[in-house]
Amino acid sequence: MPHPGEAYAVPILHASDFGNNIEWFYARHAHHPVIVRGALAESPGVAELDRPAIEKLLHGFDLWAYDSATLTRGEYVKADVLFADMAAGQARFNVVDHSILETPLADRFHPPAFLRHNWFAGSPHDTDRFVASVNCSVRDSYSPIHVDPYGMQGWMCLLFGRKRWRLYAPEQIPLLYDMTSRRFFHRRFDAPAKFPLLEMADYWECEIAAGDLLYFPAGWAHEVVTFEESFGIGGAIVNDFQVIESTRSWLWEYSQSGPGDFDFIEFLAAGAATRPRTPDCASRTAAAIQLFADWQALPAASRYGGAG
């Protein structure tokens, strides 16, 4: 019997529940989305920033902004223009992944310990820009369902505002995705009738506000509604704890839209050689690389849509 999708509430933890115990975080909590409070304890210079202080800090900076309805077109926009839009309630732009390195927040922000074991940090593949990003959204921005690239784990910590996140485990993706057009369901533009399995999808849902950090595992699809003008810091992680899940997600992405613009497999091999944490890091990374080798050995036309 078909069943309607199950809705789960994202659980709320406090950073002191696992402290610096990264293994415990990944073993116990990181298999589904979680909200972590108290995650800015190591960045008091960020936690204390209110909206006027952030506006002042970013004055004169250009931020990479997407159109706020589809996240497909991007352009550089002055932070001042974004903040004026926010005040006027004008939903033109949504900044979701402007690297923090190009802002004065970079010196003040230190990711909490459980997010620091990240192969994107300091890799020879120019991936430091993925480690932390600025997120600046006018009210009513909507990020339609998508999966972040390269099978990244993700997190976002709001400094002010309010967002509702809905997240879907990787195995739910076929229910949300149209194989013919290679697009996810867009809640504001698509007729639900085009996605007959949609209602069967299980999802995890939460609202985050100032001080809340949302973490989600590798390969989880998500959509985000911004209820109130919001500002936060987000980031992306690839590491040995979820290297297999990341690779599965990346292979799916590869099959749909190609490999992306850096050599993911070389990146994994370098990470495993220089950044191991788990005792079985080498075997896990080898298994991930084998997934790629097996996939690549298939005839091109049979790799899903054949994008490879």
To the nearest whole angstrom, how small is the minimum distance from the Cβ of residue 193 to Fe ion?
Answer: 26
Which residue among 55, 85, 148, 212 contacts Fe ion (CB under 5 A)? 148
For residue 2, the cross-strand partners are none
CB of 145 to ligand AKG, least distance (A): 10
SS (H, E, C) 179-243: CCCCEECCCCCCCHHHCCCHHHCCEEEEEEECCEEEEECCCCEEEEEEEEEEEEEEEEECCHHHH
Angle at 63 between CA 60 and CA 64, to 5 degrees: 155
Q: What span, in angstroms and rounded, lies between the C-alpha atoms of 308 and 303?
A: 7
For residue 151, the partner it binds in ligand AKG, Fe ion, none, with Cβ less than 5 to 8 A by kind, is none
Residue 137 contact among ligand AKG, Fe ion, none, beta carbon within 5 to 8 Å by kind: ligand AKG
Residue, CB closest to ligand AKG:
143
CA dihedral 245, 250, 251, 254 (to 10 degrees): 170
Q: Is 223 in the site for Fe ion (CB under 5 A)?
A: no
Closest CB 155 distance from ligand AKG, rounded Å: 8
Q: Among ligand AKG, Fe ion, none, what binds residue 91 when CB lies within 5 to 8 Å by partner kind?
A: none
Task: State in angstroms the smallest separation of the CB of 33 from Fe ion.
Answer: 12
Closest contact distance (angstroms) between CB of 97 and Fe ion is: 8
In the complex with ligand AKG, which residue's Cβ is closer, 31 or 164?
164
Q: CA torsion, points 173, 98, 230, 250, in degrees to nearest 10?
A: 10
Of 121 and 281, CB closest to ligand AKG:
121
For tokens 């991936």, name the residue. 127
Nearer to ligand AKG, 222 or 248 (CB): 222
Distance in Å, CB of 236 to ligand AKG, minimum: 8
Q: Using the minimum distance from each CB to ligand AKG, give the nearer residue, 242 or 285.
A: 242
Reference 234, options 92, 93, 73, 120; nearest CA is 120
Nearer to ligand AKG, 216 or 241 (CB): 216
**Residues 6+ positions from 55 with CB-CB distance below 8 Å:** 79, 80, 83
Maximum CA pair distance of the chain? 58
CA distances from 52 to 56, 57, 71, 159 (A): 6, 9, 26, 12
Q: Which stretch binds Fe ion (CB under 5 A): 140-148, 166-174, 247-255, 290-298?
A: 140-148
Question: How many C-beta neighbours within 10 Å does residue 174 have?
Answer: 10
Least distance to Fe ion, CB of residue 49, Å: 23
Nearer to ligand AKG, 94 or 103 (CB): 94
**How near is the Cβ of 142 to Fe ion at its closest, in Å?**
12
**In contact, 163 and 242? CB cutoff 8 Å:** no
Name the token pair of 151. 């099978």
> Which residues are near ligand AKG by CB under 6 A?
94, 96, 135, 137, 141, 143, 148, 154, 156, 163, 222, 224, 226, 234
Residues in the chain: 308
Binding residues vs Fe ion (CB under 5 A): 148
